[in-house]
């Protein structure tokens, strides 16, 4: 395909070469703090800007837990989370669209709302970035593309290894719809994240490239995988080096890891990526340690703990983008920002 210059976020590569940029923390963790019930997920009790009124009052099934729906029913909650992370020093914030694909939303009977969820979520993130951006400190909205609950590489039936519950084409169509809406809503960057199945990710990346060619737009693409256990592999079986080899053809702005193991156990795999992924930037946004249901955030690490570990990555010259995943809050992001503020970014001879 013909290469095009970035049509948005043209300044971002230079920023990443100059300093370590800060990504936001966990959307889900912050949503949990609002302790919303079933009726609040449906929009009851909110009549402010963007209110859905009684649109979802009688929608069948349970909707609590469908965090992407909150962009339509409680935009005030999503906007306040964005503002909290931006105030804590985030340079990039993710849209509330991790599960906003037709494939994921089908679990709630809301597949037909996926496009609207992405469009509205992108507009909320765009507005938040515009509120906090200054000429010296631009803020960027990253359109988040999650992995979906289905895997194109692994059978859901232990008795039938050839069985699949989703096809590459179904994933491609779902992701294309998501990308189109995110870009229309005003995102600066596209972030394919929490990748446990590289084939799912390749469907997302194919859809992105397809959209770029059709639209004339070309946004920076960030890619982030997740190592699922101490074997150092993604769930579909690849090492991080093999994962990079599978996606490098799209020439992403960054490649990295998030979620899963937490920073302490993630370090050797970030080191491996930093070694093999020449010519691109490296991102790292780990969980706040391991899950702990007794903790306020559901995870063990305090802001001091997580920021100390991430600082080690930065001090070693491994990273260009850092932030937090599950269990992290604006306090974590502020602490991470302070911890890496005097560290130099990983050198990357990035060329587009």
Could you tell me which residues are annotated as the binding site for Zn(2+)? 259, 325-326
Distance CA 30, CA 328 (A): 8
Distance CA 70, CA 48 (A): 13
Q: Tell me the HSE value of 164 on the side-chain side, using a 13 A CA sphere.
A: 14
The residue behind tokens 């809050």 is: 329
Distance CA 209, CA 4 (A): 11
Q: Is 101 in contact with 146 (CB distance < 8 Å)?
A: yes
Residues whose CB falls within 8 Å of the CB of residue 80, separated by 6 or more in sequence, listed in order: none
Is the alpha carbon torsion for 139, 270, 190, 249 positive or negative?
positive
Joined tokens for residue 157? 């039936």
Summarize the annotated binding site as residue ranges: 259, 325-326
Q: Is 11 in contact with 21 (CB distance < 8 Å)?
A: no
Distance CA 319, CA 281 (A): 7
Distance CA 108, CA 62 (A): 7
> H or E segment at 207?
helix 198-215
**26-35 as b/e, with b when 16 or more CB fall inside 10 Å?**
bbbbbbeeee
Q: Is 110 in contact with 66 (CB distance < 8 Å)?
A: yes
């Amino acid at each position: 395909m013909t290469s095009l210059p970035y049509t948005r976020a043209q300044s971002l590569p230079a920023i990443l070469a100059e300093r370590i940029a800060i990504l936001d923390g966990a959307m889900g963790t912050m949503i949990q703090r609002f302790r919303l019930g079933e009726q609040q997920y449906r929009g009851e009790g909110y009549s402010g800007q963007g209110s859905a009124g009684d649109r979802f009052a009688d929608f069948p099934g349970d909707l609590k837990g469908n965090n992407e729906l909150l962009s339509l029913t409680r935009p005030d909650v999503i906007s306040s989370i964005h503002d909290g992370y931006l105030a804590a020093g985030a340079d990039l914030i993710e849209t509330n669209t991790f599960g906003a694909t037709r494939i994921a939303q089908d679990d709630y009977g809301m597949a037909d709302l996926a496009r609207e969820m992405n469009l509205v979520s992108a507009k909320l993130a765009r507005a938040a970035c515009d509120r906090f951006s200054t000429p010296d400190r631009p803020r960027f909205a990253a359109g988040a593309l999650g992995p979906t609950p289905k895997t194109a590489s692994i059978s859901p039936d232990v008795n039938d290894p050839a069985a699949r519950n989703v096809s590459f084409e179904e994933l491609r169509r779902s992701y294309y719809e998501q990308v189109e809406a995110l870009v229309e809503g005003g995102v600066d960057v596209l972030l394919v994240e929490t990748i446990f199945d590289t084939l799912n990710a390749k469907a997302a990346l194919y859809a992105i490239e397809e959209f770029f060619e059709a639209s004339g737009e070309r946004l920076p693409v960030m890619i982030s995988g997740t190592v699922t256990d101490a074997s150092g592999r993604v769930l579909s079986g690849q090492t991080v080096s093999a994962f990079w080899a599978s996606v490098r053809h799209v020439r992403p702005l960054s490649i990295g890891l998030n979620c899963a193991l937490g920073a302490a156990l993630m370090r050797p795999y970030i080191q491996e990526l930093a070694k093999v992924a020449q010519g691109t930037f490296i991102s790292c946004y780990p969980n706040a340690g391991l899950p702990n249901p007794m903790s306020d955030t559901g995870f063990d690490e305090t802001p001091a703990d997580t920021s100390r570990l991430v600082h080690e990555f930065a001090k070693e010259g491994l990273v260009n983008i850092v932030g937090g995943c599950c269990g992290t809050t604006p306090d974590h992001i502020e602490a991470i920002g302070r911890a890496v503020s005097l560290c130099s970014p990983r050198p990357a001879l990035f060329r587009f």
